[in-house]
Amino acid sequence: MGAPRAIALCQNFKGALEFRMGNWAEAEEALRESIRLFRQIDAVDGEALSCLRLGILQTARGELDEALSTLEDGAVAAKHATLHGGNLLGWLQAAIARNRLLAGDLPAAGHAFSLGEALTESHGDCALCEAVLLPVAVSVRLAQGDLTAAEAYCRRLDADAARYDSHTWLALAAQARGELAAARGDVEAARTYYTTAQAGFHQARNEYAAAQCAEALARLPS
């Protein structure tokens, strides 16, 4: 029918699915087309979500500066969104925090995480916000050397995993526990948690997250 919004949404969802399956070239092409179409019709909420997904993909590729620029573009769009703008801003700040952690800029990562946490908490209980923010929270607190705070966020993930009882939630909680166990030097526990998480992500058909767990397992001391 040639409806730009419908096409943009389809490209956005296609990009998200291709990324999960590890087809990154196809994902990038779809997400860039989605951003172009959303901008064409001035749909800032869709633009922000597409920028979020593209920024996460670029971060995963190690294109950290380019990813940061994409995520910041998304944040500008989200500030003008009337639908879920605050949630989108929170997710974008969480993605920026992960990006800056990988870039080795811990102060910037901590600042972005604090902004994201404040934004998501101001919009009440949201399962998606928790799924986006809590794994980043564990990573940031561990990087800051605050294992007590990381443990507290892990407990929140455990509670959510028990509440929602899905492969994705259980895998997210196990992955965070693996990260915490590794930071504590408990290699066997870390290996068990990462293996559980990897299996859960495979069941959820999130091959990217499963690959992250495989990489974490490979980094553990033998």
Q: Which whole number is the average pLDDT over 89-101? A: 96
Domain boundary among 92, 124, 156: 124
Q: Based on the fold, state whether residues 76 and 20 are members of the same structural domain.
A: yes
| Residues 84 and 138 reside in one and the same domain | no
DSSP state of 43: -
Q: What is the pLDDT of residue 37?
A: 96
Together in a domain, 115 and 143: no
Of 105, 124, 143, which residue sits at a domain end? 124
In this structure, are 120 and 130 located in the same domain? no
Q: Are residues 38 and 129 in the same domain?
A: no
Do 118 and 195 sit in the same domain of this protein? no
Query: Could you tell me the residue range of the domain that residue 199 belongs to?
Result: 125-222
Residue at a domain's end among 124, 152, 174: 124
Total count of residues recorded for the chain: 222
- pLDDT per position as a tens digit, 191-215: 999 999 999 999 999 999 999 999 9
Mean pLDDT of 177-199: 98
Dihedral Cα 67, 72, 76, 77, nearest 10 deg: 20
Shared domain check, 158 and 111: no
For the segment 20-62, what is each residue's pLDDT rounded down to a tens digit? Answer: 999 999 999 999 999 999 999 999 999 999 999 999 999 999 9
Same domain as 109, residue 14 = yes
Is 116 found in the same domain as 146?
no
CA distance 194 to 179: 8
What confidence score (pLDDT) does residue 2 get?
Answer: 60
Count of structural domains, the chain: 2
The C-alpha angle with vertex 145 and arms to 106 and 159, in degrees rounded to 5, equals 100
Q: Are residues 205 and 144 in the same domain?
A: yes
Q: Percent of the chain beyond pLDDT 70?
A: 96
Q: What tokens does 33 get?
A: 């087309």
CATH at 194: 1.25.40.10
The answer to whether residues 14 and 107 belong to one domain is yes
Q: What is the dihedral of CA 53, 180, 193, 17, to 10 degrees?
A: 0
Query: 119 and 172: one domain?
Result: no
CB of 191 within 8 A of CB of 161?
A: no
- Residues 6+ positions from 87 with CB-CB distance below 8 Å: 119, 120, 123, 126, 128, 129
